[in-house]
Structure 1
Amino acid sequence: MSILNLLPLFLLVFVRLTCFFVTAPLWMERKIPASFKWGGAFFISLLVVGLIQPEQKIEMDSVFILLVLKEVLVGLCLGFFTNLLLYAVQLAGSFIDLQSGFAMATMFNPQTGIQENLTGRFFYIVAMLFFLSIDGHHILIKGVLASYNWIPIDAWLPLGVSENFVQLSLMIVRDMFWIAILIASPIVGTLFLVDIALGILAKTVPQMNLFVVGIPIKMVAHFIVLFIFMPVFLTVMEKLVQTMIHSFEQMLQILGA
């Protein structure tokens, strides 16, 4: 097969990989150069295109445009919903900062262009380090390459995708909130007990100014419990990665069923 005949197939593979790298964890960060994203997608496409054997020859006609749109949808969905679960650690940090008083001390993140809570950002950095330590980026690349077996390059999405896809999306959002609550519950529960103790102290010693004493006490309790909680956080991260891989597999089954 000549190079010109492989060009339409290569473009479809390149579109899916590029859309995946734009929205997937780690690669979506602004600190990753755009040339690295599309360059990585380009060279991986060169390796993959020779292994894909479509059932029929792909021509660059009006149908090819629809196939490109389908590849864009598949790549964006695989990357976005995988990255959505990592937002759980930032959401947990927001819950913690809201209870500890750090919610007022937000910082501007130039990578995302938004204001972020301190604890949420700290959790996200630790989560990305844990993700890299277990070769999570290799797992995602293997997953997106396996998507060509589940979702053929020249096949259309099945009719039952919309209903099942909505159910999977709701399940991923549910898991995101559940994992965020699981991460935040030890620190938030401890700070709630500190609030109760300060309330009792305010009734017994009304001369004490709790607005001056209470905030430093809550901050100290926040850092102590955070230090103790870190080993548990890594255990929860393992659960998070397992949920991410399971959701990735379910999405492949739904889009390729």
Structure 2
Amino acid sequence: MMPNLDYIPLFLLVFVRLTSFFVSAPLWMERQIPAPFKWGSAFFISILVVGLMEVPQGLELNSNYLLLIMKEVIVGLSMGFFAAILFYAVELAGSFIDLQSGFAMASMFNPQSSIQEPITGRFYYILTIVFFLSINGHHILIQGVMASFQWIPIDSWLPSDASSNLVILALDSIKNMFWLAFLIAAPMLGSIFLVDIALGILAKTAPQMNLFVIGIPVKMMMHYIVIYITLPAFFYVLGRLVNVMVQSFEHILQILGS
């Protein structure tokens, strides 16, 4: 039985959107994930999606088809970027903490971004991945990108106000990222601030003491104690971050939907 060649243009557009999404979405965007796994996942999910869709009328391999491919790339990358805000906020919170606790001098190589990152940021990042997988966050992402084919049909164009609305959504998401990062780092920053006040008072009352030698171990000890105490609150904030991610998904589908 010969395959229906009319589905090839439709399959290619679905495949481009899913591949763009998997390249920029959390978990799949990691460099440790082999590239064949990324496009392989996109390929087999595309087969399932195309099997549930009808071939749009007038979908041909012409100049308009190239514009549709560019549209699918924009849609896939946009959804992946806004979903990754969750992980960016956690890493930013770790950077705030290390800057105050003295761990900013020590760093780890992040193979994802090919740069040196603070230790606490990487630790929180790994905890976030474990938490995200434990609540089946990867299923939420797949369901979101599958729902995008209903909100944003393959053969439709983006609305005329999509670019301005995307900028507004991006600014709002970045604002939430900084706010949630500060919320995660607030207990640690407050504790380190109190330690600095105590060391300042001690420097006035006992100037003969070498506070530079004492201050670093005290901050390091406080760093680990506060992290241990605030882990339940950290996972609570992660739950809030997942809700923000889902809301961003809904907003971007409304913006890009026609």
Contact 1:85 1:172 in 2 (8 A): no
The 1-side partners of 2:244 and 2:71 are apart by 26
In the other structure, the counterpart of 2:109 is 108
The residue type paired with residue 45 of structure 2 is: I
In the other structure, the counterpart of 1:124 is 125
The residue type paired with residue 80 of structure 1 is: F
In the other structure, the counterpart of 2:8 is 7
The 2-side partners of 1:16 and 1:138 are apart by 17
1:165 deviates by 1.2
The residue type paired with residue 100 of structure 2 is: Q
The 2-side partners of 1:151 and 1:54 are apart by 15
Contact 2:100 2:189 in 1 (8 A): yes
- CA RMSD between the two structures: 1.1
In the other structure, the counterpart of 1:181 is 182
In the other structure, the counterpart of 2:230 is 229
How is 1:1-257 mapped onto 2 (pairs within 5 angstroms)? 3-257=4-258
1:163 deviates by 1.6
1:51 deviates by 1.3
| Unpaired runs of at least 5, structure 1 | none
The residue type paired with residue 98 of structure 1 is: L
1:80 deviates by 1.0
Contact 2:188 2:227 in 1 (8 A): yes
Q: Deviations over 1:186-206 (max 9, x none)?
A: 011000000000000000000
TM-score, normalisation: structure 1: 0.98
Partner SS, residue 116 of structure 2 = strand
The 1-side partners of 2:249 and 2:238 are apart by 16
Stretches (4+) displaced over 4 A: none
The residue type paired with residue 202 of structure 1 is: A
Partner SS, residue 121 of structure 1 = helix
1:232 deviates by 0.4
Q: How many residues align?
A: 257
| Unpaired runs of at least 5, structure 2 | none
1:110 deviates by 2.0
The 2-side partners of 1:129 and 1:211 are apart by 37
The 2-side partners of 1:159 and 1:10 are apart by 26
The 2-side partners of 1:197 and 1:2 are apart by 75
The 2-side partners of 1:9 and 1:83 are apart by 27
1:184 deviates by 0.1
The 1-side partners of 2:171 and 2:72 are apart by 23
Partner SS, residue 3 of structure 1 = coil
Bigger mean CA offset, 108-117 vs 49-58: 49-58
Contact 1:93 1:120 in 2 (8 A): yes
Q: Deviations over 1:42-82 (max 9, x none)?
A: 00000100212254231011111000000001000000121
1:108 deviates by 1.1
1:121 deviates by 0.3
Contact 1:54 1:154 in 2 (8 A): no
Contact 2:6 2:55 in 1 (8 A): no
